[in-house]
Structure 1
């Protein structure tokens, strides 16, 4: 599904035209694109990129490279489910089971990766996984409300075994995360998302500790 730029409030026509001219026809096409590359485009401002990054994060995606943290705002994050979403938020819990999703992944190596991550996240959180949207597996629920009044719900921690990279959500905001990242192994970080190519590239004990610490910390914004 493709999201038009016009649906993201605050992204002006100059930015929309510049992004399309550069070969990025819709919001999802920006996933993984280097932030600095987009920031250099004439007509694309940092405020617009911040809003586009927020739209990507809501869809389980992210810009690539070094993505600046959003400007400080009054936002609240609370445990639990309220059922209140902004009208345009599409990523919500589904009835499909994560186990079914994992077993249908291609190629077969992704099935093994998915099974392993289900085991690690389940052991670290003690919670049952839930599918969010078509490809994200989440644990726990967090309600967020921004200063603008926009609000919705997401999961506390989770992952998505994507074909190119495995996306790990909610693991980098904990106070001790940066120290653990130095011991994790091969990875990249974009905004609050953590990416690995495959579980073999990282120390799985460190990864499990990151999941456990993030689960036990106060809820916050994540990818």
Structure 2
């Protein structure tokens, strides 16, 4: 199997501009800021090979615990291109109102939900505020 950094590079290289440049900028900053974080790549397919989501680059890790008591490792921060722009996923937050309460008013032209910050271009958001949200997500209690 191809190494994760190579899969990430192939994904980024296949994106149209300006999404490619924006995602490359975010990816480089995450790698620089969190050099020891686990790097993930999901091509968006399930175990049967069916496309169920957009491809995602992931950073960090935490355990997702399901209602049946089972759990699995997953990334804390995800980056993904979507049809209208870019999504930054901040996963593992117990308080699903935190992102919107804390960052929605100051981030710029973005939609902020319980776990996702979605925007058209990096230039329409305050990158420092975006990275504050990412840092928060990476620093949340590692137990999930």
TM range (shorter): 0.7 to 0.9
Quick check: 1:144 aligned with 2:64?
yes
Whole-Å separation in 1 of the counterparts to 2:18 and 2:132: 24
Larger Rg: 1
State the Cα distance separating 1:219 from its structure 2 match. 4.1
Structure 2 length as normaliser, TM-score? 0.72
Q: TM-score scaled to structure 1, two decimals?
A: 0.49
Q: Tell me by how many angstroms 1:201 deviates.
A: 0.9
| Aligned equivalents of 1:161, 1:173: Cα separation in 2 | 22
- Who is 1:206 aligned against? 129
Q: Where is the strand percentage greater, Structure 1 or Structure 2?
A: 2
Distance across 1 between alignment mates of 2:34 and 2:116: 18
**How many correspondences in the alignment?**
127
- Aligned partner of 1:124 among 33, 54, 63: 33
Cα offset for 1:128? 5.3
CA RMSD of aligned residues (A): 2.7
Higher helix share: 1
Alignment of 1:61-140 (within 5 A): 95-97=3-5, 98-105=8-15, 107-126=16-35, 127=37, 129-134=39-44, 135-140=55-60
Unaligned runs of 5+ in 2: 45-54
CA distance in 2, matches of 1:156, 1:162: 19
Task: Show structure 1 runs of 5+ residues with no match.
Answer: 1-93
Could you say what secondary structure the match of 1:183 adopts? coil
User: Is 1:168 matched with 2:91?
Assistant: no
